[in-house]
Amino acid sequence: MDDDCFLRFCRLLAGRFTNRDQAAADPVHFAHIHVAFHPLEGASFGPGWYYSEQAYDHDLWSPYRQGVHRLVRQDELVRVENYSLKDPVAVAGASRDATIRATVQPGQLTPRLGCAMEFRANATGGFTGSVEPGRRCLIPRDGQLTYLVSEVEMDEERWISRDRGFDPRTQAQRWGSEHGALRFRRTERYDQGIGPHWLRMREA
């Protein structure tokens, strides 16, 4: 992946998205959700690190999903490594408040092995991603272990995602939307600090 394409991915990832239009059109099947990815570059993290939150519109300061992500540029793709937080409640709201975001530290992170996302440039000028091969991203749900299938499309205006969990033995779907992908539109950009110095990130 060349420099321009890599920096474009870094900038596109940095933003906030909402599926308000989808939720308004079909409230029975889709809740109103906000997704945000904010760069963490600073004293504790270098270029290529992001904090993320997903929250329902009615409870923005209590996200139901949080994570930290590290971008690794490879030959034809960007690998987004995923980390969980040991105490996510302590940094809830970090995508909205720089003071809270500054409290996120590397020592709080636990790698989510097998759960990296791999993104490639697509024909529309955006990127398409899926969870790394191997079916090793295991998630317990309702007392049963499932493997994650995650699919994402991203461009200047949209973030489209679909997460589903499958039974490792029968391959039957156990959780996730049965009504299609979540369709978000971009409402904010957080790419002001992303520049050529990000190209000096270590590659895998």
User: Residue 200: inside a domain, yes or no?
Assistant: no
Tell me the average pLDDT across 163-167: 95
Mean pLDDT for the chain overall:
94
Answer for the pair 33, 56: CB distance below 8 angstroms, yes or no: yes
User: Residue 197: inside a domain, yes or no?
Assistant: no
User: Residue 79: inside a domain, yes or no?
Assistant: yes
Q: What is the pLDDT of residues 115-151, one digit of tens each?
A: 999 999 999 899 999 999 999 999 999 889 999 999 9
User: Residue 12: inside a domain, yes or no?
Assistant: yes
pLDDT band at 204 (very low <50, low <70, confident <90, very high): very low
Q: Using CA atoms, how far apart are residues 120 and 127, in angstroms rounded to an integer?
A: 5
pLDDT band at 201 (very low <50, low <70, confident <90, very high): confident
Q: pLDDT at position 34, please?
A: 98
Supply the CATH number for residue 31's domain.
Answer: 2.40.128.590
Structure tokens at 181: 């992908």
User: Among 58, 61, 63, which residue's Cα sits nearest to residue 20?
Assistant: 58
User: Residue 103: inside a domain, yes or no?
Assistant: yes
Domain count, the chain: 1
DSSP H helical segments within the chain, as ranges? 3-13, 20-25, 98-101
Q: Is the pLDDT of residue 103 over 60?
A: yes
User: Among 179, 131, 124, 110, which residue's Cα sits nearest to residue 154?
Assistant: 124
Q: Is the pLDDT of residue 181 over 70?
A: yes
Other Cβ atoms less than 10 A from the Cβ of 142: the count is: 8
Tell me the average pLDDT across 95-107: 95
User: Residue 153: inside a domain, yes or no?
Assistant: yes
User: Residue 119: inside a domain, yes or no?
Assistant: yes
For residue 83, the enclosing domain spans 3-186
Q: Is the pLDDT of residue 202 over 70?
A: no
What percentage of residues in the chain have a pLDDT greater than 90?
Answer: 90
Q: Using CA atoms, how far apart are residues 124 and 200, in angstroms rounded to an integer?
A: 27
User: Residue 194: inside a domain, yes or no?
Assistant: no
Q: Is the pLDDT of residue 165 over 60?
A: yes
Q: What is the pLDDT of residues 37-93, one digit of tens each?
A: 999 988 689 999 999 999 999 999 999 999 999 999 998 999 999 999 999 999 999
